[in-house]
Amino acid sequence: MTAPDTATRPGRHAAAESVEPPGAGRDTGTTGPAGSTAKVTLPRVIHSEWIKLFTLRSTVIAFAASIIALVGLGVLFAATSTGQVTPGGPGGGGPPVAGLDPTTLSLSGVLLVQLIVGSLGVLAMAGEYSTGMIRSSLIGVPRRLPVLWAKTLVFGGVALVTMLVAAVAAFLAGQAVLDAGDAASMTLSDDGVVRAVVGAAVQVTGVGLLGLALGGLLRNTSAAISTLVGVILVLPGLITLLGQDIADTVSPYLPSNAAAAFNSIAESPALLSPGQGLAVFGGYVVVALIGAAVLLRRRDA
């Protein structure tokens, strides 16, 4: 009597090993080269957003146009106003005449540049909804919010550095033109100049982030750009139609006027203090980004 051939009869343990539980062996991460698994991290999402931002030719064109406009308009306004800004005033030793501030003249291009960068911020977010790319972004980053934070960090960082360089260049070029025309000029070491130059870059960057947030809130490029233009340019004029008392109370807290409070050399009684203006303007940006974050989590792509 021979012993049974156990090699052909899988035992209970062998049968259990042959059945894999659902999902066993599946890679929940992103498989990279040589079978490596890449987890979704904020640095990787930032790198992805950097690639997406600079893959578009419009990004480089818009930032280049912003630099040219800020420096060019600063030089233009300085050149056409040399007769109104004289060294020491008519009698000498006094402030510049006609109420024209040399630093403000050099940074006059901020009004146009903030709209360029703001529109680019809208495109950085709303453009993905119009092309459908947002679905791919959210599939790759299921938690969603890192996409918005990465866009904010990449776009805001690039805009701030670019505009800071442009603001310094615009100030130096404008002051050189004023000095050559025997008009009053200032240097970076004068009181309030550094704050005004940095404030101009902060204002443009903040408007760009407002545009990005509006792009996430409205998910439509034309609607977001129209809303941004209305808030920055149209709303201050509409407030004046409500009466002088209301205008005096509300106007200082509007985004554009709050920004003007911290990027001006001289403080104005009609505006907030520089610190208050920065806090109010920053508050608008933060609230808009929080609103975009909430809707990004709650709405379908």
Q: Tell me the pLDDT tens digit for each residue of 69-103.
A: 999 999 999 888 766 664 443 333 334 444 578 88
Question: Smallest Cα–Cα separation from 196: which of 154, 168, 227, 169?
Answer: 168
Q: How far apart are CA 223 and CA 209, in angstroms?
A: 16
Q: Identify the residue with better confidence: 254 or 138.
A: 254
Report the interhelical angle of 42-55 vs 145-180 (nearest 10°): 50
Q: How far apart are CA 229 and CA 285, in angstroms?
A: 15
pLDDT at 57: 86
Confidence of residue 117 (pLDDT cuts 50, 70, 90): very high
Q: How many C-alpha atoms does 6 have within 13 Å on its Cβ side?
A: 5
Looking at residues 5-23, what average pLDDT do you find? 42
pLDDT at 85: 62
pLDDT at 10: 45
Q: What is the DSSP letter of 230?
A: I
pLDDT at 84: 63
pLDDT at 145: 92
Answer whether 110's CB lies under 8 Å from 263's CB. Answer: yes
Inform me whether the pLDDT recorded for 32 exceeds 70.
no
Looking at residues 268-284, what average pLDDT do you find? 92
Is the pTM higher than 0.85?
Answer: no
Inform me whether the pLDDT recorded for 33 exceeds 60.
no
Confidence of residue 301 (pLDDT cuts 50, 70, 90): low
What are residue 31's phi and psi, to 5 degrees? -80, 125
Inform me whether the pLDDT recorded for 28 exceeds 50.
no
Confidence of residue 39 (pLDDT cuts 50, 70, 90): confident
Looking at residues 177-202, what average pLDDT do you find? 88
Inform me whether the pLDDT recorded for 206 exceeds 90.
yes
Looking at residues 140-161, what average pLDDT do you find? 93
Confidence of residue 126 (pLDDT cuts 50, 70, 90): very high
Inform me whether the pLDDT recorded for 24 exceeds 90.
no
Looking at residues 139-143, what average pLDDT do you find? 86
The one-letter code for the residue type at 121 is G
